[in-house]
């Protein structure tokens, strides 16, 4: 493996003793502490690692706490009765607690699963994936995500220069960005994500590499890229993330159909729409994935929308969604929901603007309430956004339609069914 200035597995770690750092046991969730202590008392090395350590050092509440140890999966299963092994090649152990809480424990590895997959393609893979703590730190993505908290003496163990980068408010890739991005291009998204979330600057070596190699993201499984982007929509910091996506052009590598289509005003509109998501997420409003995609796709579809009947609108929008997403995979049901919401909103908007009522056949649609939210989201003045999108203020969705027993066809000449506007459901 190739390493840069952030050290190599041979270098001793920088140990930061308890009085010299701010990570306190009080702030670590009790389940993760129980796992750490049980491992320690059984004679294993046990560290807290990843986002949990990073967020505690930043004074933020971590989303989850991951544990890493020298105990192997089989040993972990014996130590924690209420646990299971997941993953085939890269096995880790989930320890279950009351209330459905899970702590994930992995064994020190010598490389990331993505580095290993890349190596399988270019040469023989190493027999074992397990490794030393030093190797485990080096396989991680960013220096600020590679710090260990050692439950044995409450010290921090830094093999990668993470403490220095935290102090400098800098996002730096562990190892050579060219190598690490080529092996897993999703790391480019992770660089932008973490910079956006905590307002850090991106190390020039990583930034230059994203500018030069952004196109590699198209080699990743599209479903993985989609799921990664969803995390950013839900992050409450989607605006700074998408700004970086546009500045670095990584956005256009993922969505090539948008190249030359947005222009400065289109980019502005996209950021305006995405920027409205953040206050809602920050205030804990529940936002469905369909709504998030509908908001995002509005920037692509809106300039070409002309008044049409609902059914035509849906067909037109479905085509546009396919074009806008390029290779990004989308389950059929999700695509249908998003296209229906966009079409319904386009149908409702002129009526609402003129103060006209929405026909009952539209208000009865399953997605009417979600579409109402989309409309409020798009049209509310900035100062009223939270109030108008308040989940309590949404129209209640109609009860699920009862399944009617199939009637026999009427004989010829019987009363024809009233023509409905568009397909529903
Ligand atoms: P979050 O707060 O979003 O959970 P996180 O850094 O914990 O941030 P996770 O996706 O939970 O992100 O990953 C846990 C840890 O696994 C990371 O901190 C990092 O050390 C490592 N990691 C995650 N993805 C990669 C990757 N693609 N390559 C190398 N290491 C990774
Ligand atoms: Mg995490």
| pLDDT for 416 beyond 60 | no
| pLDDT for 336 beyond 80 | yes
Q: Which atom of ligand 1 is closest in space to residue 180's alpha carbon? A: 28
421: CA distance to ligand 2 center in Å? 46
What pLDDT score was predicted for residue 203?
Answer: 98
What would the two tokens of residue 142 be?
Answer: 């960013």
Query: Which CATH number describes the domain made up of 1-174?
Result: 3.30.460.10
Contact 176, 3 (CB under 8 A): yes
Question: What is the distance between the alpha carbons of residues 213 and 198, in angstroms, rounded to a whole number?
Answer: 24
Highest mean pLDDT among 130-144, 261-275, 315-329: 130-144
| pLDDT for 39 beyond 50 | yes
Question: What is the distance between the alpha carbons of residues 294 and 339, in angstroms, rounded to a whole number?
Answer: 8
What pLDDT score was predicted for residue 195?
Answer: 98
233: CA distance to ligand 2 center in Å? 16
Mean pLDDT throughout 135-157? 97
52: CA distance to ligand 2 center in Å? 7
Q: 3-class DSSP state for residue 14?
A: strand
DSSP H or E stretch at residue 207:
helix 204-213
What pLDDT score was predicted for residue 117?
Answer: 63
**Ligand 1 contact via 51 beta carbon (within 6 Å):** yes
Nearest to 146 by CA among 9, 250, 2, 1: 9
pLDDT tens, 185-216? 999 999 999 999 999 999 999 999 999 999 99
| pLDDT for 345 beyond 50 | yes
Angle between helices 368-379 and 263-282 (to 10 degrees): 120
What pLDDT score was predicted for residue 306?
Answer: 74
pLDDT tens, 284-308? 999 999 999 999 999 999 888 876 6
Question: What is the distance between the alpha carbons of residues 67 and 33, in angstroms, rounded to a whole number?
Answer: 9
Q: 3-class DSSP state for residue 150?
A: strand
**Ligand 1 contact via 194 beta carbon (within 6 Å):** no
248: CA distance to ligand 2 center in Å? 25
Mean pLDDT throughout 24-28? 95
List helix spans (H) across 306-388. Answer: 310-325, 332-353, 360-363, 368-379, 385-388
pLDDT tens, 95-141? 999 999 999 999 999 988 777 666 655 555 555 689 999 999 999 99
Q: Which atom of ligand 1 is closest in space to residue 62's alpha carbon? A: 2
Mean pLDDT throughout 40-51? 98
Question: What is the distance between the alpha carbons of residues 350 and 60, in angstroms, rounded to a whole number?
Answer: 44
66 is catalytic: yes
User: Which residue carries 């202590």 as its tokens?
Assistant: 37
Domain extent listing, the chain: 1-174, 222-229+249-394
The residue from 55, 136, 141, 165 that is catalytic is: 141
Question: What is the distance between the alpha carbons of residues 107 and 49, in angstroms, rounded to a whole number?
Answer: 12
Percent pLDDT > 90 in the chain is 72
| pLDDT for 142 beyond 60 | yes
Burial class for 135, CB neighbours closer than 10 Å (0-12, 13-18, 19+): middle
**Ligand 1 contact via 109 beta carbon (within 6 Å):** no
With cut-offs at 50, 70 and 90, classify the pLDDT of residue 419: very low
Please tell me the number of Cα atoms within 13 Å of 51 on its side-chain side.
12
3-class SS string, 241-278: HHHHHHHHCHHHHHCHHHCCCCHHHHHHHHHHHHHHHH
Contact 113, 86 (CB under 8 A): no
**Ligand 1 contact via 312 beta carbon (within 6 Å):** no
User: Which residue carries 């700004």 as its tokens?
Assistant: 243
Neighbours of ion ligand 2 (CB under 5 A): 51, 64
The best mutation among 6, 47, 51, 233 to test binding of ligand 1, ranked by most ligand atoms within 8 Å of the C-beta, falls on 51
Instruction: Report the mean per-residue pLDDT for the chain.
Output: 88
Mean pLDDT throughout 2-28? 79
Length of the chain (residues): 425
55: CA distance to ligand 2 center in Å? 10
Mean pLDDT throughout 141-151? 98
| pLDDT for 399 beyond 80 | no
Query: Among 30-34, 88-92, 102-106, 309-313, whose mean pLDDT is lowest?
Result: 309-313
């Amino acid at each position: 493996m190739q390493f840069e200035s952030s050290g190599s597995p041979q270098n001793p770690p920088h140990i930061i003793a308890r009085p010299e750092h701010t990570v306190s046991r009080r702030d670590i969730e009790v389940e993760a502490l129980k796992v750490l202590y049980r491992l320690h008392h059984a004679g294993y090395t046990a560290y807290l690692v990843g986002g949990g350590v990073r967020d505690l050092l930043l004074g933020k509440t971590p989303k989850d706490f991951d544990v890493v140890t020298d105990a192997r999966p089989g040993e972990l299963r014996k130590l924690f009765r209420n646990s299971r092994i997941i993953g085939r090649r890269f096995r880790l152990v989930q320890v279950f607690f009351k209330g459905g809480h899970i702590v994930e424990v992995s064994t020190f590895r010598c490389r990331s699963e993505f580095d290993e997959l890349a190596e399988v393609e270019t040469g023989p893979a190493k027999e074992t994936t397990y490794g030393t703590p030093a190797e485990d730190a080096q396989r991680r993505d960013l220096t600020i995500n590679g710090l260990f908290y050692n439950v044995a003496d409450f010290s921090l163990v830094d093999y990668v220069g993470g403490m220095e980068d935290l102090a400098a408010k800098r996002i730096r890739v562990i190892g050579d960005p060219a190598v690490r991005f080529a092996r897993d291009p999703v790391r480019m998204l992770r660089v932008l994500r973490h910079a956006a979330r905590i307002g850090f600057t991106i190390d020039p070596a990583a930034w230059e590499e994203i500018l030069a190699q952004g196109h590699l993201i198209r080699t990743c499984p599209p479903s993985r890229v989609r799921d990664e982007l969803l995390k950013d929509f839900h992050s409450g910091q989607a605006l700074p993330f998408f700004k970086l996506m546009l500045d670095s052009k990584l956005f256009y590598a993922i969505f090539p159909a948008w190249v030359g289509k947005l222009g400065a005003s289109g980019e502005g509109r996209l950021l305006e729409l995405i920027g409205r998501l953040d206050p809602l997420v920050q205030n804990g409003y529940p936002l469905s994935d369909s709504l998030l995609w509908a908001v995002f796709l509005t920037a692509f579809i809106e300039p070409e929308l002309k008044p049409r009947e609902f059914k035509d609108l849906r067909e037109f929008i479905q085509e546009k969604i396919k074009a806008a997403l390029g290779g990004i995979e989308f389950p059929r049901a999700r695509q249908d929901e998003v296209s229906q919401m966009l079409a319904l909103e386009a149908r409702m908007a002129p009526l609402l603007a003129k103060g006209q009522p929405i026909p009952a056949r539209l208000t009865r649609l399953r997605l009417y309430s979600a579409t109402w939210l989309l409309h409020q989201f798009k049209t509310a003045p900035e100062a009223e956004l939270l109030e108008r999108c308040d989940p309590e203020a949404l129209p209640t969705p109609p009860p699920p339609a009862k399944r009617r027993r199939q009637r026999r066809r009427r004989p010829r000449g019987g009363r024809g069914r009233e023509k409905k506007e568009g397909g529903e459901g």
